[in-house]
Structure 1
Amino acid sequence: MTTIYDNLTQLGGKTELPASPEDAVLERVFNPQAEVAYCVRFTAPEFTSLCPMTGQPDFAHLVIDYVPGGWLVESKSLKLYLGAFRNHGAFHEDCTVSIARRLADFLEPQWLRIGGYWYPRGGIPIDVFYQTGPVPNGVWVPDQGVPGYRGRG
């Protein structure tokens, strides 16, 4: 018997962290509730990447909201994709927008937004926001709940 989960390759066993975001394999499954408009939220409060100039680590609290269309992202593949940024050098803006665009292209959601709340370096926090368009009518999308910088806690 076939299921919507048959094409998944990363669940059920040990999976190595990809060497780079480009090497990461995102996986998706058919959305069994595609006729319903609802919001899905993923929160990554310990996201890390590297400064492309100094090689020093950068830290962010990412909040990804999307209203699925026909596809759902498989969460382990998303975790591995986000983890692949640990050794990736890029500015905050590039990391945040690249994640959003790859997910939007891959999932073809009705709507997607990302909030990248970056911890300060040199005393300046950088927050980066991206969304694909207006929120679909009738969908409840809560506030992302990340306060303006005061220790981000």
Structure 2
Amino acid sequence: MARTEYYDDPNAPEPNSMVVAASAVVTNDEGHILLQRRRDNDLWALPGGAMEMNESLPQAAIREVKEETGLDIEITGLVGTYTDPRHIIAYTDGEVRRQFNICFRARITGGQLEISDESTELRFVAPDELTDLAIHHTQMKRIHHHLNNRDTSHLG
């Protein structure tokens, strides 16, 4: 199923769902950030996804990272909250979502890096290489908040 992301676009469809989601900035020992190239839109993104009814947001981030990358992680902090109503995600199945995302900082505790059915590539990216990749600006915002505001969390 393909998806299209809109931001502050008057032609964006009206949302028909609100989804609570978690994502994580996972770094390796060199400070490189784990990104996945999404199969549904071919853009690079942080691992993450929707929270299930039986879990907390940190548990959702841990599960999503495991499912999408094969890595086990430990949550170490909060990057921020991302609730901008101008960000709309439309799927080819008719769902048009407004997403409420909590982004965490995390470190690797185990597992083995492996591609899931949601991605075509996984890569640890050095901060100075981020501009070379196709990344939606809402994802870049989270990454920049991680890199620039390590002592505070973004609230938005």
Q: Which has the higher contact order (CA 8 A, sep 6+)?
A: 2
TM score, norm. by length of structure 1: 0.30
Larger relative strand fraction: 2
TM score, norm. by length of structure 2: 0.29
